Amino acid sequence: MKKFYFTLLAGLMLVSSIVSAQDAKMKTFIDQLMKKMTLEEKLGQLNLPSANDFVTGAAASTDVAKKIIAGKVGGLFNIKSVAKIKEVQKLAVEQSRLKIPLIFGMDVIHGYETVFPIPLGLSCSWDMDLIERSARIAANEASSDGINWTFSPMVDIARDPRWGRVSEGNGEDPYLGGQIAKAMVNGYQGNDLSKNNTIMSCVKHYALYGAAEAGRDYNTTDMSRQRMFNEYLYPYKAAVEAGVGSVMASFNEIDGIPATANKWLLTDLLKKQWGFKGFLVSDYTGISEMIAHGIGDIQTVSAKALMAGLDMDMVSEGLLNNTAKSLKDGTVSMSRIDDACKKILEAKYKLGLFEDPFRYCDENRAKIEVFSASNRKEARSIAAQSFVLLKNQNNALPLKKAGTIALIGPLADAKENMGGTWSVAANLSKAVSFLTGLKEVVGDKANILYAKGANLDADAALEERSTMFGKSLHRDNRSAEVILNEALEVANKADVIVAAIGESAEMSGESSSRTNLGIPAVQQDLLKALLKTGKPVVLVLFTGRPLTLGWENANVPAILNVWFGGSEAPYAIADVLFGEANPSGKLSTTFPQNVGQIPLFYNHKNTGRPLNGPWFQKFQSNYLDVSNEPVYPFGFGLSYANFNYSEIELSNTNLKGNQTLSASVTVTNNSNVAGKEVVQLYIRDIVGSSTRPVKELKGFQKVNLKAGESKKVSFNITPEELKFYNYDLKYDWESGDFNIMIGTNSRDVKTAKVNWVK
């Protein structure tokens, strides 16, 4: 044993001495380089313009190109392909004075050309290996095509589905969000950033961007420190703990100061308290937007951002153009400029760019890696695991591959929309529609008919706003009645109707907030008419956010929420519809009854007048017109299998200090198909020095159960799971009673109680 520890210790010492030798080598290299740099060149490193205007062959004549040659650019984003990136990198390493390579960023958010489900969908898999794998594949593809830096993951906790960017995040829960943040960072960065198939990750948007007032994008956020620390900050911190290389500051203000210039947020918390060692980049024009925020002119806001701890300026060119003057005025310090420059150079060093600026530019690799058959195969299976079966009355699903199936709806033949929002690298010309995917999977076993049935929305202008970036739904300009009647004729010929309706891809995402969260009326009319035919109807719901589905839940026999499943979604949907894949997704976000209930989330506080018992009760915390319940709670999702939960077994009910509590349930699949179930652990701290949520997710396990199989699922709980930030923001646990809850979703749980004292 002694020998083992000695060997282990020696091993650890060896690893740490190799790491510190590498660090020392990097430090020497960067110190020497920085000695040669002028102030202007140092500021150049902090400058990140967008490369929108680059075209191969014309690069050298653009404004950005001139700046690169002059050493005034640190990196570029929005540029795709080895050919273009190579050409631009050459300007930097062949024509600029110090030959410092550029870093190349891109929003590789949920896949590169092989597109995975939108992050909100992916989060519903609750499968960390699968999520990490999706990021790994994305990194592999992007890195082979010249990219070495991605603006992902987006880990903003969001409780307001009016906000379009809920689609880009992981839902409402900090614990689940934190696990996903780690998985994504690991997937992108691997264990060695200098490898040519790993890329630097950038966690965003730091911080609290998801709490925008009224769900309107870019709006103000304001919350107590306790809420911030207990409910919003953990996923960013988790990414930092996973070693994320960069962090993006958010657009919103925090405590009256925009995040981009908030010293407490950027320096005191992130850099000092959390020990973040990478670099901090602004969001797109985040610096110049502070003029409109009302905290100064470009000179002032640039100085404020830099001195608050920001290292890189995306697009504003505020740092590039104003910092020399601020240095003279004494509003910025040379040591801060040096520190920011050093951080950018370190990132480039770690990516191996000084050794080989063309490390990520390998046309041959790109040809093999990008949109490869094996990546697409994995994406198909991953997509199927992100879908959430919301309703399945009388086992309406799976369908048989037989007879005549009518596929109807504006999302049925809309290949450009399958990838969802923020699929910027996707090659839309290679996209496949749901109709094509369904036909391919069915082969000659069933007859597929198609009709559009309705436009996205009766309002053509709204449809135009919701179908930007080439993601057209090919609006049909005939009257709604004509389009509907045509669909009914088709529907009447079928044995079963599959309705492909919901949102378009760009109806969620950045700057796509909505105040009405229903399926657009014209599509709901279509659904009603289809139900009236008396044929079985399956609703395949496309959406980038929780919608208000009270009517649909009450009236449609089967609802499969497929989010936007990515480039392989059409095949994956067919796999699930026909039972070749069994749905196992669980919602990472609550689906409210109506917009008036928002924000509605499972981990709320109890209040002094909770509604204990049936709705409605006068003078209790509830509404006159709807109950407090969601349509679908957090953690909810059905399967073609059926799972039964035993009562909870506890190893102990009276615990002391650092003991470990084991809480178990036996889960039985009492159906005749195999399926996966996400077993969820929640804890309630019943009495605290501050009020505590009615429940908080503290663990989960995804288990695979064969038909008829039972498995014991155990969670080990330690005082770590009981900790929270108290009124003084001290992170600790308190003695008392705790409810331990285990179940299939946040509403349907088994409960047991323990007492735990210090």
DSSP state of 309: T
Q: Are 154 and 110 in contact (CB under 8 A)?
A: no
Q: Residue 476 or residue 510: which is nearer to ligand BGC going by CB?
A: 510
The whole-angstrom separation of Cα 104 and Cα 622 is 51
Give the bridge partners for 709, in sequence order.
none
Q: Which of 284, 564, 571, 724 binds ligand BGC (CB under 6 A)?
A: 284
- Contact at 8 Å (CB) between 87 and 59? yes
Q: How far apart are the first and last CA of the chain?
A: 32
State the residue for tokens 């190579």: 86
Q: x-or-dash pattern for ligand BGC, window 208-237, by CB under 6 A?
A: ------------------------------
The residues, any chain, with a CB within 8 Å of residue 220's CB and separated by 6 or more, are 212, 213, 252, 253
CB of 515 to ligand BGC, least distance (A): 21
Say if CB 667 and CB 710 are below 8 A apart.
yes
Beta bridge partners of 154: 204
User: Which CB, 239 or 526, lies closer to ligand BGC?
Assistant: 239
Q: What values do phi and psi take at 319, rounded to 5? A: -70, -40
**607 Cβ neighbours under 8 A, 6+ residues apart:** 621
Q: Is 279 a binder of ligand BGC (CB under 6 A)?
A: no
| Angstrom distance (rounded) from CA 6 to CA 33 | 40
Name which of 246 and 639 has its Cβ closer to ligand BGC: 246
Kindly state the smallest distance separating residue 107's Cβ from ligand BGC, in Å: 5
Least separation in angstroms between residue 163's CB and ligand BGC is: 12
One residue of 87, 107, 145, 503 binding ligand BGC per CB under 6 A: 107
Residues 533 and 491: beta-carbon distance below 8 Å: yes
For 755, half-sphere exposure in the C-beta direction (CA atoms, 13 angstrom radius) is 2
Enter the tokens of residue 610: 């909770």
Least distance (Å) between residue 314 CB and ligand BGC: 7
Q: How far apart are CA 731 and CA 734, in angstroms?
A: 10
Helix (H) or strand (E) holding 612: none
Q: How many CB atoms lie within 10 A of CB 413?
A: 18
User: Least distance to ligand BGC from the beta carbon of 259, Å?
Assistant: 12
How does DSSP assign 439-495, residue by residue? HHHHTTSSEEEEE--S-S-S-HHHHHHTS-TT-------S-HHHHHHHHHHHHHT-S
Contact 74, 44 (CB under 8 A): yes
Using the structure block, give the residue that is written with the tokens 């919350």. Answer: 223
- Nearer to ligand BGC by Cβ, of 286 and 309: the residue is 286
The single-letter DSSP state of residue 231 is: I
Nearer CB in complex with ligand BGC: 168/413: 168
Shortest gap between Cβ of 228 and ligand BGC (angstroms)?
Answer: 20
* Residue 384 Cβ vs ligand BGC, minimum distance, rounded to whole Å: 27
**Two tokens, residue 724:** 């929270």
In terms of CB distance, is 109 or 431 closer to ligand BGC? 109
In one letter, which amino acid is 264? Answer: W
| Closer to ligand BGC by Cβ: residue 253 or 378 | 253
| Residue nearest to ligand BGC according to CB distances in the complex | 151
Minimum distance of ligand BGC from residue 174's CB (angstroms): 20
Query: Is 204 or 359 the residue whose CB approaches ligand BGC more closely?
Result: 204
Taking the complex as a whole, how short is the minimal distance between the CB of residue 210 and ligand BGC, in angstroms? 12
CB of 78 to ligand BGC, least distance (A): 7
As a whole number of Å, the CA-based R_g of the chain is 27
Whose structure tokens read 């650092």? 658
* Of residues 87 and 107, the one with the C-beta less far from ligand BGC: 107
Q: Which tokens go with 684?
A: 């309630």
- Which residue, 41 or 107, is less far from ligand BGC as judged by CB? 107
Phi-psi region of 729 (alpha: psi -120 to 50; beta: other; left: phi over 0): left
Residue of the chain from 204, 237, 365, 702 that contacts ligand BGC (CB under 6 A) = 204
Q: CA 192 from chain center: how many Å? A: 23
The answer to whether 436 touches 476, Cβ cutoff 8 Å, is no
Nearer to ligand BGC, 284 or 563 (CB): 284
Contact criterion met (CB below 8 Å) for 645 and 742: yes
> To 5 degrees, how large is the angle CA 191–CA 240–CA 249?
125
156 catalytic? Reply is no
365 near ligand BGC, rule: CB under 6 A: no
Pairing of strands 654-656, 749-757: parallel
Tell me the site size for ligand BGC, rule CB under 6 A: 6
Residue 151 within binding range of ligand BGC, rule CB under 6 A: yes
Task: Give SS3 for 504.
Answer: coil
Single out the catalytic residue among 283, 311, 575, 685. Answer: 283
Beta strands in 311-455 (DSSP E): 313-314, 388-392, 404-408, 447-451
Nearer to ligand BGC, 544 or 570 (CB): 544
Give least dist CB 168 to ligand BGC, A.
Answer: 7
Distance CA 285, CA 318 (A): 9
Does 510 bind ligand BGC (CB under 6 A)? Our answer is yes
- Check: CB of residue 595 under 8 Å from CB of residue 549: no
Beta-bridge partner residues of 407 = 450, 498
CB of 283 to ligand BGC, least distance (A): 5
User: Minimum Å distance from CB 510 to ligand BGC?
Assistant: 6
For residues 523 and 546, give the distance between their C-alpha atoms in angstroms, rounded to a whole number: 17
The nearer residue to ligand BGC, 156 or 696, going by C-beta atoms, is 156
Residues in the chain, total: 758
Told to check if 188 binds ligand BGC by CB under 6 A, we report no
283 binds ligand BGC (CB under 6 A): yes
128-144 helix and 174-189 helix, angle to the nearest 10 degrees: 40
Q: Is 206 in the site for ligand BGC (CB under 6 A)?
A: no
CA dihedral over 153, 158, 161, 163, signed as positive or negative: negative
Q: What positions carry a catalytic annotation?
A: 283
Q: Enumerate binding residues for ligand BGC (CB under 6 A).
A: 107, 151, 204, 283-284, 510
